[in-house]
A and B are shown apart, each in its own frame.
Chain A
Amino acid sequence: NAGVTQTPKFQVLKTGQSMTLQCAQDMNHEYMSWYRQDPGMGLRLIHYSVGAGITDQGEVPNGYNVSRSTTEDFPLRLLSAAPSQTSVYFCASRNDRGAGEQYFGPGTRLTVT
Chain B
Amino acid sequence: EDKVVQSPLSLVVHEGDTVTLNCSYEVTNFRSLLWYKQEKKAPTFLFMLTSSGIEKKSGRLSSILDKKELFSILNITATQTGDSAVYLCAEETSGSRLTFGEGTQLTVNP
Contacts and interface: CB of A to CB of B under 8 A. Distances in A.
B100 A104 contact: no
Contact of B43 (A31, A44, A104): A104
Contacts of A42: 4, 88, 100-103
- Main SS at interface, chain B: strand
A53 interface: no
Contacts of A59: 1, 99
Contacts of A58: 97
Nearest to B33: A99
Nearest to A96: B96
A87 B5 CA distance: 21
A40 B97 contact: no
Interface string A5-35: 0000000000000000000000000010101
A90 B44 CA distance: 12
Interface residues of B, number: 25
B48 A99 contact: yes
Contacts of A94: 96
Interface residues of A, number: 26
B48 to A, nearest CB: 6
Interface in A81-101: 90, 94, 96, 99-101
16 contacts: A31-B96, A33-B97, A35-B100, A41-B102, A42-B88, A42-B100, A43-B43, A43-B90, A43-B100, A50-B96, A99-B34, A99-B48, A100-B48, A104-B44, A107-B41, A107-B42
Given A41-B102, A59-B1, 16 more contacts: A31-B96, A33-B97, A40-B9, A42-B4, A42-B100, A42-B101, A42-B102, A43-B43, A56-B95, A90-B42, A90-B43, A99-B50, A99-B92, A103-B45, A105-B42, A106-B42
Interface of A: 31, 33, 35, 40-45, 48, 50, 56, 58-59, 90, 94, 96, 99-107
